Amino acid sequence: METSDATSPPTTIRWGIIGVGNVTEVKSGPGFQQADRSELVAVMRRDGAKAADYARRHGVPRAYDDADALIHDDEVDAVYIATPPDSHRDYAVAVLEAGKPVYVEKPMARTTAECEQMNAAAERAGLPLFVAYYRRAMPRFARVKELLDGGAIGSVQAVAVRNQQPAPIAEGGDMPWRVQPEISGGGHFVDLASHTLDLLDHLLGPIARVSGYAANRSGRYPAEDLVSAAFEFGSGVGGTGLWCYAAGEYRDEVELVGDAGSLTFSTFAQEPLRLVRGDTEESIEAPYPATVQQPLIQAVVDELTGVGVSPSTGTSAIRTARIIDTILASYRAEHGLTFS
């Protein structure tokens, strides 16, 4: 870690990544090299050959097949954990106990209890814990927040969320880890809805009350594939959500309803925002950056180097975990889904 003097924040953050799977190829990994005052110096994957291949292709100096070796590498200042959720807690605690900040993939962990253990480890270590809810920092959603804060639709009254897609098809008899609750904490609802719920927390403030229903309609895997919920933000804004992952078509829509208009956008696609006021409809371009996590990675680096603040932390992310746990509580109990 490069510092200007013993009491100043570091001037450059040297990163290590645990788990260089698909998400790190384009969405996140290059962001650690693109961000100012940031370097990617080491990567780890249990398959050492794949770790070495990633390092070669991305110009990373060192590759490991053992997480502890990367965590205790003296030239690694902070660690990004990009493994499936079932290992987030253990890796995060290990990194924090080694005296290094953590940036962990979303969802933060499988359950609120695991998130609490991660936050407790960060508090004990006196170190920051960041979570990759990167939509909080993306220009697309900064534009949404700017429109809301500027009164484009007046006072927000309600929000409606709709997300659906066809059920996944097993490849070679194996289902994706994202629909295996013991690994992911649930199904696509946990993986995808967490993004939208966290974004709404960022845009409208924390959700104060929530109730929900979950079921499995397709029978293709043990996780929920149909979820409905009603929620209320602390501000009084009301919300509803419908998530169906056994549908015949794709749909991704969030509609914010105000007393002077409405604003509709997708969480995962890049089509223009749709702003409606009276008889007027406006289409607002709001594309994704090439590396979608780069804006949040920059915000994390800014905080670590003392020049800014990250909008996504363990403190904000655990709120989304609590909402998901509440919605899925009955389904998990009925199906005997427990997490150690």
For residue 3, name the pLDDT band (cuts at 50, 70, 90): low
Span(s) in the chain for CATH 3.40.50.720: 2-134+294-309
**In percent, how much of the chain has pLDDT > 70?**
97
User: pLDDT at residue 334 above 70?
Assistant: yes
User: pLDDT at residue 122 above 70?
Assistant: yes
Omega before 166 within 30 of 0, i.e. cis = no
Topology of domain 139-288+321-334, per CATH? Dihydrodipicolinate Reductase; domain 2 (3.30.360)
- Which CATH code is given to the segment(s) 2-134+294-309? 3.40.50.720
Degrees to nearest 5, angle at CA 80 with 207 and 132: 25
Mean pLDDT for the stretch of residues 295-313:
98
Give the list of residues 6+ apart from residue 179 with CB closer than 8 angstroms, or none.
Answer: 168, 187, 188, 220, 221, 223, 225
| 169-187 residue pLDDT tens | 766 568 889 999 999 999 9
User: pLDDT at residue 2 above 80?
Assistant: no
For residue 110, name the pLDDT band (cuts at 50, 70, 90): very high
Mean pLDDT for the stretch of residues 328-335:
96
Angstrom CA distances, 21 to 28, 82, 329, 338, stand at 10, 7, 30, 26
Span(s) in the chain for CATH 3.30.360.10: 139-288+321-334
In the chain, the amino acid numbered 118 is M
| 13-25 residue pLDDT tens | 999 999 999 999 9
pLDDT value, residue 331: 97
pLDDT value, residue 201: 98
CB 297 within 8 A of CB 28: yes
User: pLDDT at residue 5 above 90?
Assistant: no
Rounded Cα distance, 192 and 162, in Å: 11
Rounded Cα distance, 249 and 66, in Å: 41
Give the list of residues 6+ apart from residue 211 with CB closer than 8 angstroms, or none.
Answer: 229, 230, 231, 326, 327
User: pLDDT at residue 340 above 80?
Assistant: no
| 235-269 residue pLDDT tens | 999 999 999 999 999 999 999 999 999 999 999 99
User: pLDDT at residue 6 above 60?
Assistant: no
pLDDT value, residue 234: 98
Can you give the C-alpha Rg of the chain in angstroms?
20
